[in-house]
Structure formats: structure tokens, C-alpha cells
Amino acid sequence: MSLLKEIILQIFFALIPFVAFNIYYRDKIRNYSQTFILLTSSLCLFLAMTFASNVVDGVIFDIRYVIMFFGLVYGGVQTGIILLVEFVIYRLYLGGEGMPVAMIILACTFSLSLLFYKLYKANYRRTFVTFLAGIAFSVIPLVLTYSFFPNDVKEHLAYHLIVIPMQNSLGTWLLLTLFGKSVADKEMFIRHAQNEKIETMSHVAASLAHEVRNPLTAVKGFLKLIQEDHKHLPKLEQYINICLGEVQRTELILSEYLSISKPLTARHEVINFSEQLYVIREVMSPYANMHNVELEVHAPDSPVPVLANPDEIKQVLVNFIKNAVEACSEVSDAKVILRLSSEEDRVVLKIKDNGIGMTESQMKRLGSIYFSTKSNGTGLGLTYSYQVIHAMGGTVTVASKPGAGTKFTLIFPEAEQVG
């Protein structure tokens, strides 16, 4: 049992770089650094030598050769030399009659480690090189220790034939194999993250182009109305103001979608939700007309106060209305109805369409990034909308059946007053 404890302790020290790597680099989009290898290897070497095993006073055994080989492979020659210096200084400090032979063993194993390092880096059968290094780190200490202390080796033959080979060969194989796999997995993760980032940029670009069409369509529709009805000055001024507002909102759409993954802005104020709905109806009516969809809004005449960012809530309403319009654009007598009500301390907005509807599995995935029921959709619009609603303390529920339309219910906390 004592021999097993010695092996387990040294193997534990050998795996410190592997464990530290998986903890420190778990959520980072980068791989290990030379500094990381040097620090963890130095710590591991110090602990292994401090709590080394021995059966004869002054003669100690640990996994120093494993650590120095690991430092060479992943930290380079410079790291290996620093570990070599650390060992020499600390071994001189520890002293004992085994110090001279320890220096000779180190000279032999470090020279071989340089050779194994070159073979390993050349991708020359790395598993075989790792196995060969473990055998060398087991045989060389045994042979040289026997040359200097034959009687001690014979007296503790089981220790020298089991403990030392086990901790060196098993330690080398475990550390190099496990750390190598973790590094390979991290490289795969980094490549996937980079590819995902590129794909995200393309999706955002496509979504931006799609979303920006809404205000541009509205501007185009009102400009046509101005062209047809330019003699009515009151309406002309109203149409121009709406067009200017939509141009400004286009800029806001760009900034909102570019920052969709960032925390939502904390700027909130009390707004009249009822008034916002009628404004949005004016904005989205040309878009609905283009798709032959009737857009209805039913809201109380009295103010319905909610605490929100006006730009965010406007974009949310545009997203829901646009999706509803597109969902029923191929249906005869297509209609989208927005119904706002105030119930106790809650504001409830129901958005209903008589479009194509959704299945249960589709409804469960709504709001997930890049999920869309449309073949050319990105899902970013609803993802953003869900984030805004939840940030306001609101909720979203959906009821739908294929071919029977969809009804979204948006519930917000009611504010105390309208500013």
C-alpha cells in the first residue's frame, strides 16, 4: 500500500499542468503559452522534489525527468534549460549522498530528452516516442543507481523495479497524452469559434440588409404618397417627419444589431405604449400593404405607461409585426391584429396573425439565436426582441398551430406614470 501511495502522489504532481490547463483555459479563446508551461512545470518540479519518495536517506526519486521532457515538448528548449537549472539548484540545496548520481542521471536523461523532443516535434510516431521516453526515464536511473548503490538496490529491489519505472513511464504517458489531447481539443475549439464568428458576421450582415429594408420601404411608401398628394401641406409635413424618423431609426437598427451580443443599454424612460403602437402602425402600414396584409391596432385612448427604452421597444414591435406580416403574406384575407390592454399592474400586448402557424418544436426554439421559421431568416430579430423584453422584466408566450395562425402575448410591468 505504501508503494502505491508513492506512485499515486508522484503521478498527481505530474498531472498538475494538465489539470491547470483545463481549469485556466477552459473558457478562453486561446491556447497555452510558454509562460504557462514554465510556471506549471516549475511548480510541479518543486512539489515532486519536495515530497519525493525514498527508501535510503539522501537518495530520492521523483518524476523530475517527466516534467523536464514535458517542458521541452511544450515550452521549448529555453523552458527545458530553466527547469534544468531549477533542479540543479534545488537538488544541491537538498543535498544527501545521492546528489552526485542524481546529477549524472540528469545529464543522461536531459540529453536523451533533447533527442526525444526533436523526434516528437517532427511528428515522428509521437506515441512511440512517448513510450520510449518513459522506458528510458525508468531504465537509466535504475542502472546508474545500481552502479553507485548496488546493495541498496538489491535490498529494496521491489521499489526500484516497480515504483520508479511505474511513476516515470506512466507519468510520461499520462501527462503527454492527456495534455496533448487537451491542446488538440482547444485548437479545434478555437477553429470552430473563429469559423462561427465568420458565420455570425455573415448572418448579421444578411439580417442587417433585411432589417434595414423596413424603414427604407416605409420612406419609399411615404415619398410616393407625397408625390401623389403633395398639395395637402399638413399631411406633407407629417409624411416628411415620419421619413426623417425612419432614416434615423435605420442608424439605430445598425447599431442595435451590431451590439446584439452586448449587454442591453440601461437607458429607460416611461413611455406611452399606446401611442407607440399607433406610431408603429403608421411606419409598418406601407410594408403590410406591399404584402397585401391588413394591419389593425386596438389600444386604449388613455395612456398605457411602461418603463422602456423607446428605440428598443420600437425595434421590438417592428420585429414582431414584420414576422407576422410575412407569416400571412401568402394567405387570402391576411390580417395582423395588435391588441393592447392594461390589466391590474400589467400591460398586455397580443399580436395575432392568420398565417401559416408553427409546430410545437418550432415554438420551443423561438428566440434561440440563428433559429428562424423562414428559409432565409437568421433568427436575430426575435433573439434581440426576447432579450429586450426580458430585460424590461416582461415575458413572451406564443400559441400557434400549423395553418391556424400565431398569437404572441407580450406582458410588461406597468409603470406608475407617463413622462
The whole-number pLDDT of residue 17 equals 92
The confidence score (pLDDT) of residue 266 equals 54
Strands 335-343 and 294-298: parallel
**Could you tell me the residue ranges of all domains in the chain?**
2-195, 265-413
Burial class (CB in 10 A: 0-12, 13-18, 19+), 1: exposed
Residue 303 pLDDT? 87
- The grid coordinates listed for 88 are 540543479
Side-chain half-sphere exposure of 269, counting CA atoms within 13 A: 6
Give mean pLDDT, residues 126-136.
87
CA-to-CA dists, residue 272 to 88, 247, 331, angstroms: 77, 22, 33
Q: Give the chain's count of helices (H) and strands (E).
A: 15, 9
pLDDT in tens, 160-174: 888 788 888 888 899
CATH match of 265-413 with 3.40.50.11540: no
Mean of the per-residue pLDDT values for the chain?
Answer: 79
Percent of the chain with pLDDT over 90: 15
- Confidence class for position 179, pLDDT limits 50, 70, 90: very high
The rounded distance, in Å, linking the Cα atoms of 167 and 12 is: 10
| Cell output for 130 | 512517448
60-106 residue pLDDT tens: 888 888 999 999 999 999 999 999 999 999 988 888 888 888 899 88
Q: What is the pLDDT of residues 345-390, one digit of tens each?
A: 899 999 999 888 887 777 776 654 444 455 444 455 677 777 778 8
HSE at residue 102, side-chain half, CA atoms within 13 A, is 24
**Which has the higher per-residue pLDDT, 226 or 277?**
277
- Residues 6 or more apart whose CB falls under 8 angstroms from that of 46 comprise 86, 90
**Residues 67, 45: contact at Cβ < 8 Å?**
yes
The model's pLDDT over 283-301, given as tens digits with 9 standing for 90+, comes to: 777 678 778 888 899 988 8
Q: How many angstroms separate the Cα of 378 from the Cα of each of 319, 348, 368, 394, 407?
A: 12, 27, 10, 23, 21
CA distance 125 to 142: 26
The pLDDT of residue 37 is 93
Among the residue ranges 102-116, 206-220, 250-264, 293-307, the one predicted with the least confidence is 250-264
Strand, coil or helix: what is 418? coil
- Residue 166's contacts (CB-CB under 8 Å, 6 or more residues apart) are 7
Provide the pLDDT for residue 255: 56
How confident is the model over 230-274, as pLDDT tens digits?
665 566 777 777 777 777 767 665 654 554 444 445 567 888 888
* CA neighbor of 166 nearest in space, from 6, 297, 286: 6
| Contacts of range 96-99, beta carbons closer than 8 Å, 24 or more positions apart | 96/57, 96/58, 96/59, 96/60, 97/57, 97/58, 97/59, 98/56, 98/58, 98/59, 98/60, 98/145, 98/148, 98/149, 99/58
Strands of 48-193 (E only): list them. Answer: 53-56, 59-61
Identify the DSSP state of 331.
Answer: S
β-partners of residue 335 are 294
- Reported as half-sphere exposure (CB side, CA atoms, 13 A), residue 275 has a value of 11
